[in-house]
């Protein structure tokens, strides 16, 4: 029974009935449920640095990132995080609050800036990233009460190259290096002021 449920969820993520753009979700966040679950981001275009040959393709879009909400924690069942909050954060947050946005911005070569104790791509960089996502990024999701229970297995099955946490993908080290270089650059600018 557990395998049947897992296979059903995997099939819904690999063959989605819907894919929403960032713009559509910003216009109507209520399309996204306020429940726990798993979500996947598909992309039309991505940096040539990203190895996509082995990625799952659906309607000419490549599955490159898988996330869950909420994260597993002792109080996960009491968490205020849910699919809607997490996906909207990827859509309109910034590099300091969204690992996906941080990675995408680094891949696009956007300069990271230090703003107080946080870092982001600045107002223009974040807008540029959001505009790019409007054109190239689409998301789907499946509600599931304890997404942390199947996250690792889903990552192993889908092999999304933009994942860091729980990923064994060969591209993970490249992402970590790009992110580290961006942080060092932001720090050096901050120290030079």
Residue 183 has pLDDT above 60, yes or no: yes
Q: Domain total for the chain?
A: 1
Residue 168 has pLDDT above 80, yes or no: yes
d(CA 132, CA 74): 37
Handedness of CA 53, 11, 19, 158 (dihedral sign): negative
Mean pLDDT of 1-27: 93
Nearest partner of 130 among 22, 51, 39, judged by Cα: 22
d(CA 88, CA 168): 27
Tell me the pLDDT band of 189, cut-offs 50, 70 and 90.
confident
Residue 193 has pLDDT above 50, yes or no: no
User: What range defines the domain where residue 73 resides?
Assistant: 2-192
Handedness of CA 64, 68, 74, 75 (dihedral sign): positive
Nearest partner of 33 among 143, 116, 120, judged by Cα: 143
Tokens at residue 126, please?
Answer: 């974040």
Tell me the pLDDT band of 22, cut-offs 50, 70 and 90.
very high
- Dihedral Cα 66, 71, 76, 80, nearest 10 deg: -80
What pTM did the predictor assign?
0.93
CB atoms within 10 A of CB 85: 16
Mean pLDDT of 153-160: 97
Maximal C-alpha separation, the chain:
60
d(CA 96, CA 101): 8
What pLDDT, in 10s, does the model give residues 96-150? 999 999 999 999 999 999 888 889 999 999 999 999 999 999 999 999 999 999 9
Residue 3 has pLDDT above 80, yes or no: no
């Amino acid at each position: 029974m557990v395998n049947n449920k897992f296979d059903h969820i995997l099939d819904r993520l690999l063959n989605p009935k819907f894919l929403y753009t960032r713009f559509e979700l910003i216009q109507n966040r209520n399309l996204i449920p306020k429940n726990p679950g798993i979500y996947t981001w598909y992309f039309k275009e991505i940096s040539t640095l990203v190895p996509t040959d082995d990625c799952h393709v659906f309607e000419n879009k490549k599955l490159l990132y898988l996330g869950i909400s909420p994260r597993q924690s002792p109080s996960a069942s009491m968490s205020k995080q849910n699919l809607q909050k997490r996906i909207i954060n990827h859509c309109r947050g910034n590099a300091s609050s969204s690992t996906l946005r941080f990675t995408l911005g680094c891949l696009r070569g956007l300069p990271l800036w230090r703003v107080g104790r946080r870092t982001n791509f600045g107002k223009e960089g974040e807008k540029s990233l959001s505009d790019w996502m409007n054109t190239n990024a689409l998301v789907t999701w499946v509600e599931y009460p304890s997404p942390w229970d199947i996250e690792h297995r889903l990552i192993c099955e889908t092999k999304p190259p933009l994942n860091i946490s729980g990923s064994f993908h060969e591209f993970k080290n490249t992402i970590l290096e790009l992110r580290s270089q961006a942080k060092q650059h932001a720090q050096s600018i901050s120290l030079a002021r």
